[in-house]
Amino acid sequence: MSNSRIVRFGCFSIGLLLLSSTALAQSVDRKEVEKIVREYILQNPEIIGDALTELQNRSETAEAEARTAVVAAEADALLRSDDDVVLGNPDGDVTLVEFFDFNCGYCKRAAPDVKALVAEDSGLRVVLKDFPILGPGSVEAAKVALSVKRLKGESAAQEFHARLIGVQGQINVGRALALAEEMGLDRKRIEEEMRSEEIAAIISSNLSLAQRLGLTGTPSFIVGDQVIMGAVGKERNRRSQATALSGSGA
């Protein structure tokens, strides 16, 4: 909601409060209402800031509650999809889900933090979900990565992810396939798998899930019922893990 719309809404709300009596509201015309509201606001300008803050807080609370509901409803898709790369302890007591894009500079920056968290916490399970939103190159790179997982399994997929997310510069299908070949994988088989309906369905499902969660950028992390947007650093994610472990869910 824009500030101007919020202000208009706030002024309208103030007017209703001032004229809460039905009898009084019926006894004055629109111009009188506008005059009363205007005079009150001019005499008490701080209420505009208070109204904006309150409306923003309510909006953020509503968004957080909606995300929490989606996290609970989509637990299987978030935590237990066979198509995602899983790092750390597969039976860990806390799961950290990361929505990432291979062309996201912040995702590349966050990768060492995620690796460090896994190394430091033997009870942590990390789920990596392809969320290719930064152009065609990202989509093709995600298709290669998903194909590696489907054709060669978890270990190869983990290595491929770690190496490709560490590549600097623009990632496209050529660079992703070249890396697969460097790993000794069959390029032709990967290219065939990339064109499959199954790969397209996985990406579509991930994009749809992210939309329902209100995710608009990468990286985005989910731990317990918390949604954390951006490369917030190792310490922030560690605190979120502790909160999840203490009772908000894993």
Looking at residue 142, which CATH number applies to its domain? Answer: 3.40.30.10
pLDDT of the residue at 42? 82
Q: Provide the pairing of β-strand 94-100 with 124-130.
A: parallel
Distance of CA 161 to the CA centre of its chain: 19
Structural domains of the chain, count: 2
Domain membership of residue 70 (yes or no) is no
Helical spans, DSSP H, in the chain: 3-18, 22-27, 30-43, 46-73, 75-79, 105-120, 136-152, 154-165, 173-182, 187-194, 197-213, 234-243
Closest CA to 176 of 205, 154, 149, 215: 149
Same domain, 146 and 113: yes
Give whole-number Cα distances, 196 to 150, 184, 203, 218, in Å. Answer: 11, 22, 12, 26
Question: Is this prediction's pTM over 0.95?
Answer: no
With left for phi above 0 and alpha for psi between -120 and 50, is residue 45 left, alpha or beta? alpha
Same domain, 28 and 80: no
Residue 16 lies in domain: 3-61
Domain membership of residue 66 (yes or no) is no
Same domain, 188 and 243: yes
In which residue are the tokens 């299987």 written? 76
Same domain, 144 and 21: no
On the 0-12 / 13-18 / 19+ scale of CB atoms within 10 A, 181 is exposed
Same domain, 44 and 83: no
pLDDT of the residue at 24? 53
Q: What is the pLDDT along the chain (250 residues), one digit of tens a residue?
A: 555 554 454 555 555 555 454 455 555 677 887 788 788 788 888 887 777 787 777 766 777 777 778 788 889 999 999 999 999 999 999 999 999 999 999 999 999 999 999 999 999 999 999 999 999 999 999 999 999 999 999 999 999 999 999 999 999 999 999 999 999 999 999 999 999 999 999 999 999 999 999 899 999 999 988 888 876 555 555 555 445 444 443 3
Query: In whole angstroms, what is the distance from residue 103 CA to residue 101 CA?
Result: 5
